[in-house]
Amino acid sequence: NGDQATDDDRYDAMKAAVDGGAEVVVCAGFMQGAALEKAAKEFTGTKFVFIDGWTLGLDNVVGITFKEEQCGYFAGYAVVRDGFTKLGFSGGGGGTNPACCRYGYGFVQGANAAAAEMGVNVEMNYSWQFGDSFSASPDLQALISGWYTNGTEIVFACGGSMFQSITAAASANDGFVVGVDVDQSSQSDTVVTSAMKGLADATVWACEKAFDGSWDEIGNSEVALGAENGATGLPTATWGMETYTVAEYEAQFADVVSGALVIDNDYNNLEQEYSNLTLNII
């Protein structure tokens, strides 16, 4: 039932997969939680991979999360290095979704770090308004259009179908957008880069564990994947920046992998003083 799906619909889909012989069922998105718990308790012989989820205390479930603060940092740093100084962040979940919160906090940190290196000051509008349901809406488009009209140059669209409203506002105002989760450059000419996490890679990784006999290493646990797993980053095949180079990005990525650069993931620290960034929380 698409975006009208209920927990019963989700459970029915999982049951149909098991009845059809699936040995592993991959459930993507936090909204799968209630149905997944019911199905996993009933079908104990089937393994469940909960992408963007959490541990349910069940041996046949692994919850996979991501270090979204890394993705956000890479994107914030890149766009400021590429010359953007007036930024925006529009997030889904109303400020209660941990993944979106990590994305946003990382974006702020990366933008501030780049600005400090360049000796410039940047501004960022930061809002959870009109994003509770992660859906596109006229209200969201109007909000972001107002940002562009008042000087915002690029907005991080961090929340599912909110992307449509934000790219529509960008198109109408000659603005630019940072995509989320996957490379969204093919979906709009306004997209400069995307803060990506390895949804497909994580799925393959977990499925390998299910079939190579090492599931016990991850079952009944929550695993956070990051750059060291190849699970966070920016798309290099569709590089859209003009002055910040792929080589510079790859050097920074290597620093995160090695631990030379550590990015704070405690988004409760968002409202702090930044050396080169003015944060306007709306």
pLDDT digits (tens, 9 = 90+) for 79-114: 999 999 999 999 999 999 999 999 999 999 999 999
DSSP annotation of 141: H
Q: Cα 259–192–76 angle (5° rounding)?
A: 35
Are 143 and 153 contacting, i.e. CB atoms less than 8 angstroms apart? Answer: no
- Rounded Cα gap, residues 184 and 156, in angstroms: 12
Q: How many residues does the chain have?
A: 282
Tell me the pTM: 0.92
- Rounded Cα gap, residues 111 and 24, in angstroms: 40
Collapsing DSSP to helix, strand or coil, 264 comes out as coil
Confidence at 39, pLDDT banded by 50, 70, 90: very high
- Rounded Cα gap, residues 48 and 56, in angstroms: 11
Are 33 and 50 contacting, i.e. CB atoms less than 8 angstroms apart? Answer: yes
Arithmetic mean of pLDDT, 43-66: 95
Q: In what order do the strands lie in the sheet with 61-66?
A: 24-28, 47-51, 61-66, 221-225
Judge whether residue 4 has pLDDT over 90: no
- Rounded Cα gap, residues 194 and 182, in angstroms: 7
Confidence at 213, pLDDT banded by 50, 70, 90: very high
> Alpha carbon 177 to chain centroid distance?
14
pLDDT tens track for 137-196:
999 999 999 999 999 999 999 998 999 999 999 999 999 999 999 999 999 999 999 999
- Rounded Cα gap, residues 36 and 29, in angstroms: 11
pLDDT tens track for 246-268:
999 999 999 999 999 999 999 99
Residue 120: the pLDDT is 98
- The percent helix, strand, coil of the chain (3-state, each to 5) is 45, 20, 35
Are 49 and 22 contacting, i.e. CB atoms less than 8 angstroms apart? Answer: no
Concatenated DSSP letters of 160-202: TTHHHHHHHHHHHTT-EEEEEES--GGG-TTEEEEEEE-HHHH
Q: In what order do the strands lie in the sheet with 232-233?
A: 232-233, 191-197, 176-181, 154-158, 86-91, 122-127, 277-281
Place of tokens 């149909």: 16
